[in-house]
């Protein structure tokens, strides 16, 4: 991805994270660009199936867009924590400094930063959550081994996916009871799934797996990590088929 695309996905993620659709005017103000530039980029992101867009309401990341955005946001917030905790930068300075560095940090370096900082959960300037690591590890030692041999994959939680998104279950993360429930539903590693219905930010997520439709609460869906398919098909809008983006 270009730095410009990453900046847009990061900005959209920030609005979606707060339970809001990202509006064009708000994006223009946040990124300090013209409304015309936002309109042009929104079209590009929609064509690449990274977002869905509802006119006059705003933008929502798809599963593919969320996977890419979370990678950038995770690096940014880990850098903020490193700059503050290890280098002594003030909370007021860490955001701008992290913006300058985030685009050149590899996934392996981000994982090493996470280990060095003892797996922090929030960034220092506004205490927002650091997106979770997408490696399937059970300890820091295992994480170190995995990151040295990991191949790049588009991974995000099932809770971040939208109607029309599809992919393959990579792994589940959480307590034994939750993982057992997920496995009993057929959402095992390697299972192919497609999101059928999901309201933005709230409510259950309905998925199709092995020809069967299942509904999961958001809490359970957060524990399922999915390798998102690089689909070329139109992405269904969460408010129904008449909002499909072509």
64 band by pLDDT with thresholds 50, 70 and 90: very high
Residue 108 sits in a domain whose CATH number is 1.10.10.10
Q: Using CA atoms, how far apart are residues 246 and 237, in angstroms rounded to an integer? A: 11
Q: Using CA atoms, how far apart are residues 13 and 209, in angstroms rounded to an integer? A: 27
CB 22 within 8 A of CB 53: no
231 band by pLDDT with thresholds 50, 70 and 90: low
Same domain, 187 and 120: no
Tokens 């390798």 appear where?
A: 227
Angle between helices 35-47 and 24-31 (to 10 degrees): 110
Same domain, 161 and 126: no
245 band by pLDDT with thresholds 50, 70 and 90: very low
Same domain, 143 and 181: no
Same domain, 86 and 145: yes
- Domain boundary pick from 117, 149, 181: 149
- Domain boundary pick from 34, 61, 88: 61
Per-residue pLDDT at 134 exceeds 70 = yes
- Backbone phi, then psi, for 191, in 5-degree steps? -70, 135
Domain extent for 35: 3-61
Of the two residues 6 and 246, the one the predictor is more confident about is: 6
Same domain, 73 and 134: yes
Condensed to tens digits (0 to 9), the pLDDT of residues 78-94 reads 999 999 999 999 999 99
Which residues, other chains included, contact 83 with Cβ-Cβ below 8 Å and sequence gap of 6+?
89, 93, 94, 97, 98
Q: What is the pLDDT of residue 220?
A: 93
Same domain, 85 and 115: yes
Q: Which residues pair with 224 in a beta bridge?
A: 172
Q: What is the pLDDT of residue 233?
A: 54
Q: Using CA atoms, how far apart are residues 162 and 140, in angstroms rounded to an integer? A: 31
- Read off the pTM: 0.87
Report CA dihedral (14, 205, 222, 70) to the nearest 10 degrees. Answer: -30
Number of domains in the chain: 3
- Domain boundary pick from 125, 149, 173: 149
Average pLDDT over residues 91-115: 92
Residue 173 sits in a domain whose CATH number is 2.30.30.90
CB 162 within 8 A of CB 53: no
Same domain, 89 and 110: yes
Per DSSP, the three-state class of 128 is coil
Same domain, 11 and 78: no
Same domain, 48 and 96: no
Per-residue pLDDT at 126 exceeds 90 = no
Average pLDDT over residues 119-124: 93
Of the two residues 214 and 149, the one the predictor is more confident about is: 214
Averaged pLDDT of the chain = 88
């Amino acid at each position: 991805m270009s730095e410009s695309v990453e900046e847009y996905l990061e900005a959209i993620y920030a609005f979606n994270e707060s339970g809001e659709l990202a509006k064009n005017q708000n994006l223009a103000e946040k990124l300090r660009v013209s409304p015309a530039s936002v309109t042009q980029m929104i079209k590009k992101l929609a064509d690449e199936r990274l977002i869905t867009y509802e006119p006059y309401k705003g933008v929502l990341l798809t599963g593919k867009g969320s996977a890419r955005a979370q990678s950038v946001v995770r690096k940014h917030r880990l850098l903020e924590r490193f700059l503050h905790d290890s280098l002594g930068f003030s909370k007021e300075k860490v955001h701008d400094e992290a913006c300058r560095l985030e685009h050149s940090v590899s996934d392996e370096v981000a994982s090493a930063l996470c280990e060095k900082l003892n797996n922090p959960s929030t960034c220092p300037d506004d205490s927002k959550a650091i997106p979770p690591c997408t490696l399937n590890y059970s300890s820091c030692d295992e994480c170190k081994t995995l990151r040295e041999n990991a191949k790049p994959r588009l991974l995000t939680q099932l809770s971040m996916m939208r109607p029309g998104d599809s992919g393959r279950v990579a792994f589940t993360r959480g307590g034994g009871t939750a993982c057992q429930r997920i496995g009993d539903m057929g959402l095992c590693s390697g299972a192919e799934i497609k999101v059928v219905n999901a309201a933005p930010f709230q409510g259950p997520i309905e998925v199709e797996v092995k020809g069967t439709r299942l509904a999961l609460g958001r809490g359970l869906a957060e524990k399922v990590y999915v390798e998102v398919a690089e689909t070329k098909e139109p992405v269904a809008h969460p408010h129904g088929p008449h909002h499909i983006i072509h």
